[in-house]
Amino acid sequence: MSAIPTPNLSAYPELDTPARLLFGPGPSMVHPRVTRAMTVPVVGYMDPLFLDILTKTADLLRYTFQTENRLTLTVSGTGTAGMEAAIANLVEPGDSVLAFAKGYFGLRLAEMARRYGGNVETITKTWGEAFAPHEIKAALDRRPAKVVTIVHAETSTGVCQPLDEIARIVHDQGGLLIVDAVTSLGGVPLKVDELGIDVCYSGTQKCLGCPPGLGLITVSPRAEEKLNARKSAVPNFFLDLALLQKYWGSERVYHHTASMPMHYGFYEGLRMVVEEGLENRWARHRKNAETLWKGLADLDLTLHVPHDIRLVTLTTVRIPDGVDEAQIRQRLMQDYNIEIGAGLGDLKGKVWRIGLMGYSSREENVLLLLAALEKLLHK
Ligand SMILES: *Cc1c(COP(=O)(O)O)cnc(C)c1O
């Protein structure tokens, strides 16, 4: 057998990644304070210093979710891990599930619930529209469900789903409501307890100014009852919330080693949410989005979603006739170091997706992006 040759290091230079301006569907730009916090030395997973950070993270996360839920923690992974934690724990084989899908992530929730044995029916909507409460009620009247899933901020379409009344409708039928808040938490008004949401999950790299690396989840007492009454063990060991809570709670039983740097950074990111104040943060995201929308209109560009349900953290822009959408994105990156997103699924080739999330949501960024677009579109 021949020896495995030693790679020539000149072909593997030290990384030198430019700081991109991230205005796509995520990740967004990481705040320098978060980056700095991540360089603090790694300690052990049972070190009192680290356990204290976890406890404080859960407190700050409750504020960010606007909830008093005891079961509020992070899982290693990304927003998808938060989604999978919600489904793996809440959906038992045979459970009736209603998935309201108005875009890519709504469909992903349905697919996940199916994989965990849920008896899933998917109610779909044209990409760019939102569900009305009466539609949710009608679907549940026809087919009661133990678990209902819906996406708050649908990143594939740029729609913000109004959540008023939905939890009450679901609860009246004896079900539990799971809400995806990956692209809304920290950027769009969201009050988990006031809205009556049972399970809400998110991630770190959209509106919280952190890199990808944690899934965030909060579970209502009502949903905890369902977890406690499960007939079978959660089929996903890594995302078993009862086991995770034994580490996060007072028992401090080892489950898995979380990334210390990621937690340091996230802790700083949450401190910055408190420092700014949630209401101010929501207002900042809205103000910068309104500036973007006005500027895009001045460039004769058409937005895909009507103003009343338009998502402030992600804007879908229709591609004008005769414009090579991929070429514009390529030139934005090559000439201006700017990333924006392409359309996904039903909107592939039809829209650009412009994200203004977290630390990316700043007026100077909006003006820069508009100026670059104006140049490239030869206005
Ligand atoms: C980004 C996103 C996810 C998935 O999060 P990842 O961090 O990419 O795993 C889920 N739902 C929505 C609405 C998202 O925008």
User: Both 84 and 194 in a single domain?
Assistant: yes
Q: Does a structural domain hold residue 8?
A: no
Rounded to the nearest angstrom, the distance between the alpha carbon of 264 and the centre of ligand 1 is 22
pLDDT digits (tens, 9 = 90+) for 295-338: 999 999 999 999 999 999 999 999 999 999 999 999 999 999 99
Separation CA 327–CA 375 (nearest Å): 13
Residue 379 has pLDDT above 70, yes or no: no
**CATH no. for residue 68?**
3.40.640.10
Is residue 151 within 6 Å of ligand 1 at its C-beta? Answer: yes
Give the mean pLDDT of 209-219: 98
Cβ of 158 less than 6 Å from ligand 1: no
**282 and 269 within one domain:** no
Whole-number Å distance, alpha carbon 191 to ligand 1 midpoint, is 19
- The minimum-distance atom of ligand 1 relative to the CA of 203 is 7
Q: Which residue lies with its CA nearest to atom 6 of ligand 1?
A: 79
Q: 283 with 270, same domain?
A: no
Residue written as token pair 């899982």: 75
Atom 2, ligand 1: which residue's CA is nearest?
182
Of the three residues 274, 298, 330, the one that is the final residue of a domain is: 274
For residues 198 and 53, state if they share a domain. Answer: yes
pLDDT of residue 2: 83
Q: Is residue 14 in some structural domain? A: no
Per-residue pLDDT of 11-20, as tens digits, reads 999 999 999 9
The pLDDT value recorded for residue 298 is 97
59 and 170: one domain?
A: yes
Domain for residue 299, yes or no?
yes
Q: Is residue 243 part of a domain?
A: yes
Q: Is residue 3 in a domain?
A: no
Measured in whole angstroms, how far is the alpha carbon of residue 3 from the centre of its chain?
Answer: 46
Domain coverage including residue 81: 32-274
Residue whose C-alpha is closest to residue 133's, from 160, 170, 107 = 170
Q: Which atom of ligand 1 is nearest to the CA of 26?
A: 1
Domain membership of residue 11 (yes or no) is no
Same domain membership, residue 339 and residue 250: no
**Ligand 1 centroid from CA 182, angstroms:** 6
pLDDT tens digits for range 139-183: 999 999 999 999 999 999 999 999 999 999 999 999 999 999 999
Residue 13 lies in a domain: no
Residue 10 falls inside a structural domain: no
Of 274, 302, 317, the position where a domain reaches its end is: 274
> Is the beta carbon of 162 within 6 A of some atom in ligand 1?
no
Q: Which CATH number characterizes residue 374's domain?
A: 3.90.1150.10
Question: Same domain for 228 and 298?
Answer: no
Cα–Cα distance for residue pair 227/241, rounded to 1 Å = 9
Q: What pairing do the DSSP bridges indicate for beta strands 314-318 and 214-219?
A: unpaired
Final residue belonging to a domain, choices 255, 274, 293:
274
User: Is residue 258 domain-shared with residue 292, that is, in the same domain?
Assistant: no
For ligand 1, is residue 212 a contact (CB within 6 Å)?
yes
pLDDT tens digits, one per residue of 254-271: 999 999 999 999 999 999
270 and 366 both lie in a single domain = no
My answer on whether 113 and 204 are in the same domain is yes
Ligand 1 mutation target, pool 22, 76, 100, 105, most atoms within 8 A of CB: 105
- Nearest ligand 1 atom to the CA of 215 is 7
CA of 4 to the centre of ligand 1 (A): 39
**270-277 — which CB contacts under 8 Å span 24+ positions?**
270/57, 270/60, 270/61, 270/63, 270/64, 270/208, 271/60, 272/31, 272/33, 272/34, 272/209, 273/60, 273/63, 273/64, 273/186, 273/208, 274/60, 274/63
227 pLDDT above the threshold of 90:
yes
Residues 256 and 324 in one domain: no
- 204 and 285 in a single domain? The answer is no
Number of domains making up the chain? 2
Q: In a 10 Å sphere around its CB, with 0-12 CB exposed, 13-18 middle and 19+ buried, how is residue 275 labelled?
A: exposed
